[in-house]
Structure formats: C-alpha cells, structure tokens
Structure 1
Amino acid sequence: MNRGKARVPTEAERKRLGIVTAAGSSALRNVAILAVSYRLGLRAKEIAALTVADVLDVRGDLHQEITLRKTKGDKPRTAYLSNATLRRELLAYLGARRNEEGILFNLAAALFKSRKGGHFNPNTMQQLIRHLHVRAGINGGRSHSGRRWFATELIARGTDLKAVSVLMGHSSVAMTAQYAEDNPQRLRRIAADL
C-alpha cells in the first residue's frame, strides 16, 4: 500500500464492513452508501450530491444509469446501476425511507440524508465512510477505499484500463493505473498464464 492512499480492504474485511454496518445505526442508509461507493466507484463528493431522482423514476423504479454532474472537474459522466447488490441495497433503503416519510417522500431530496435531514456535504460524507471502516477495524480505510476497490476489482477481472478509466471518470488511463492494487493472487495468476 502506498503511503497516503486509501487502503483497499480484503474480501474478509469487506464482509466484516458489511456486517458491522448492517448492525449499526442508520443501517439501511449506510449499507446503501457503501454499495454506491464500492459498486460504482464514486467519490464522497459525488455520493453526497445525489438526489432521489438521480436513481429513482416517478414510478419508483431504479434507473439503469445515472448522470453524475457534481464530479471532480465538473465533467459529467455516466454511472450504471446494473449491479444486483447495488440495486438490492438501494431499493431496501429507498423502500424503508418511502414508508417512513409517507407523502413527504420527495424525489428532489437528498438521496442520503444526514442526521439533520438534508444533503451530506463532501466532508461529512468522507467522515461517515471513514467512521464505518474504523468501526469494522479496517486500518487505512477511507472514503476512497470503495473507489480504489472498484478499479482494482475491475482490473483483476480483466476489464481493459480504458473502460475502467471511463467508469472512473478519469481523463487518462495513466490516472486509472494508479488506482490498481497489485495483489499477490493476481500476480500469481498472471505469472501462471505465461
């Protein structure tokens, strides 16, 4: 792990993160936040800016894709809500929220509400995600851990760097390559395939 970079949790740590988060306060919201972080590779700033309408249509169905506008460099990009785990966690959270809010449920509202009922700001979203990692005992886990896992996992599965770069919203493949975590299992697999 390079100094200063968010750590990519192991599979066992990710499982523990899910269990600890699901047992904590605001569990459905926090599990959905982690799903968005890990399954879409979004930055804390991007997660904090999402509204309900970004992911849910007027009939209550999840969109297949979303356009992110509050990105680094303010360059819009598309994120795909096609992952089954992500969809399940978002639907569970939004279903519970719709039941709780009743007629006050509002598509224009923040997707993830803070304790005060409004949008998280990027800093408080970073703090929340870091806190969830700390509670799960993941040293070095931060808001960028999900983003780094997303890139690392796609690359480990053989996804070409250009596609990963587009999904991450990077202007260059070189930037995406910095997110890739080389792990011993992946290196052994590469060496074995020669």
Structure 2
Amino acid sequence: MQSDLYSRIDFYLNHLRVERQLAKNSVEAYSHDLRSFAEYAEKRKIGEVAEIGEDLALSFLASLAEGGIGTRSITRYLVVLRGFFSFMTREKIISTDPTAQIEFPGRWKKLPKFLSIEQVDLMLRQPDVKTTLGVRDHAILELFYASGLRISEMSGLTTDRINLQQGYCMPFGKGSKERVVPMGGEAIAAIALYLEEGRGKLARGMVVDELFLSRRGGRISRQRLWEIIKFYARKAGIKINVTPHMLRHSFATHLIERGADLRVVQMMLGHVDIATTQIYTHLSRRHLQELYKKFHPRA
C-alpha cells in the first residue's frame, strides 16, 4: 500500500500532466526528484506529508551535496520540492510550506563534511582498551561524538564539569558561556572506565583538574587531541582527512537526520543567539536528556 506521501506526489504529478500540461519529460523529471525525496523520508520513518518539516528538507538537500550532487542540480531539487509543497498548501493538505524559508544553494555556506554512522562506529572501535592510553583515547572519541564539543572545550573540560550519574557535561564555550550537553550510555561507560583504570595512572599522584591527561600527567593539548583523531581515523581505514570539527559536524548531522529539532541541536553545539537562548531557558535538563536518548545513535 502506498504511503500518504507517494499518493500526494501522484496527485501532484497528475496536476502537472493534466492541468498544467507539462511535457512528458518534464513530468518524469519532477517524478524522479520527488520520489528521491520520498525514499529519503521513508528511510526516516516519515510517510505523511504533514509530518515533513524544514529540518527534513534541509537534511535531504545536504545529503545530496555530500553525495557530490552539484549546486545547479540541488537548486533544481529545491525548485521541485517548493512546487510540490506550494501545491499541497494551496490544496489545504498542509498549512505551511516547509521549504519556503530555505535559501537556494548559491547562497549557502560550504556544507561541513561529516562521517557516516558506520564510519564513526568503526573509528570508535579502534582504541585498545587493554592499555592506559587506549582507555583514555576511547573515552575521548566517545565524548567527542556523544557531545559535539569543540576541541578547546574538550581540552579544557575538568572533572567537576561532568556528571556521569545524570549523564551530562557542562563545557564552557565561546565567550565563557556555559551549556549543558547530554551524554549517551556509550560515552558514560567509556569515561567511567577511564576514571577507574586510566586517569590515575596518567596523573601519577599529581592533582590536575582537567579530565583528559597527557602521557606526562598534565592537561592534554589541542594538538594531541587532533593527532588522536587522525590516528584512529587512519587505523579505521577512513580515507578522508578527519578532524575534531568533523566529529562535531557528525554529531549534529546524525541527530538532525534522526529527527532532532535544529534549534535543540544548535543549543547543544553552543551556537547561542537570542532565539536559541530563549528556547534554552525553557528546556529542562531532563527534557534535554530525553531528546538526546531519543535521537542520538549511541545513547
């Protein structure tokens, strides 16, 4: 049985064919683009037109760019989607067009690169947790992906800024702004193991506030964090140049692809503007935790 979305697409294509009398080739081109979008939505368990929001449309267009589709072709996809949703609005099937506020690709900033979930999983399995440094490195990788922290935030994160029982960390971001970021079960377990079996050996009796320590027992540097990520990416056989910021982009992209609201993800990343701050004040830590567990693939 066809989903609601596919039925609406057929309805729209018939409108193009009969009422607008578009050429056969044009209708086939519209059909191809709309069905590509419908397949993308279906993989994300969305089959109703009314369920589609701007987040899904943006995620679809971003996936095209990531797959090497050029700007002109993405522009065509957006034009086709706008035509479809505008028609759905005029027919009062939906109340608002989810693509109305999306800018054309020519005005986009360069899309950030990110890893697939499979690539991240493979990378996170590389550290040898039978060694002290392997335990530390595994905790670092898990927290990078679980939280989307910036490299400076990871380097400066102190032990009193994490709460493993309640499952969150509190980094200081740009402008020394504090935020609360949930952590999933995988990251919590990795950090707990590091605190039990790795950190004390690295500290060697020294009192150090920072969570992640270097081989000599001091605060781990940003350069070393960068090297750790590159090392395990190569070990996992990932050919592209993986950076700490790419893990941050992967964190955000995977959340959005699984249905998380863009504004919530912005808040977790610390991209604070007035609107995001207002939303933040109305979200409790428990609500954040529930959202995180629902949408993050390793929660």
TM-score (norm 2): 0.49
Give the alignment of 1:118-137 within 5 angstroms. 118-137=218-237
Structure with the larger RCO, 1 or 2 (CA within 8 Å, 6+ apart): 1
1:36 aligns with 2:137: no
Give the alignment of 1:44-193 within 5 angstroms. 44-55=151-162, 62=165, 64-69=167-172, 71-81=173-183, 83-97=184-198, 100=201, 104=205, 106=207, 108-138=208-238, 139-172=240-273
Q: 2:123 aligns to what?
A: 17
Q: Distance in 2 between matches of 1:91 and 1:10?
A: 26
Deviation at 1:118, TM superposition (A): 0.7
What is the CA deviation profile of residues 21-79 of structure 1, one whole-angstrom value per residue up to 9, with x for unaligned ones? 236961111110011100001111111101222225xxxx645333212x233322112
Question: Cα RMSD (Å) of the superposition?
Answer: 3.0
Deviation at 1:142, TM superposition (A): 1.1
Larger Rg: 2
- How many percent identity over aligned positions? 25
Moved more, 142-151 or 20-29: 20-29
Structure 1: tracts of 5 or more residues without a match: 174-194
Q: Distance in 1 between matches of 2:223 and 2:111?
A: 17
Deviation at 1:154, TM superposition (A): 0.9
Q: What is the number of equivalent residue pairs in this alignment? A: 166
Deviation at 1:119, TM superposition (A): 0.8
Deviation at 1:105, TM superposition (A): 7.4
Deviation at 1:156, TM superposition (A): 0.9
Structure 2: tracts of 5 or more residues without a match: 1-65, 69-109, 275-299
| Aligned-partner SS, 1:150 | helix
Change beyond 3 A, Cα 1:62–1:52: farther
Change beyond 3 A, Cα 1:62–1:124: same
Change beyond 3 A, Cα 1:24–1:44: farther
TM-score (norm 1): 0.72
Deviation at 1:18, TM superposition (A): 2.1
Change beyond 3 A, Cα 1:68–1:131: same
More helix by share: 2
CA contact (8 A) 2:148 2:247 kept: yes
What is the CA deviation profile of residues 148-185 of structure 1, one whole-angstrom value per residue up to 9, with x for unaligned ones? 11101110111111111101100359xxxxxxxxxxxx
What amino acid is aligned across from residue 235 of structure 2 in structure 1?
Answer: R
What amino acid is aligned across from residue 73 of structure 1 in structure 2?
Answer: G
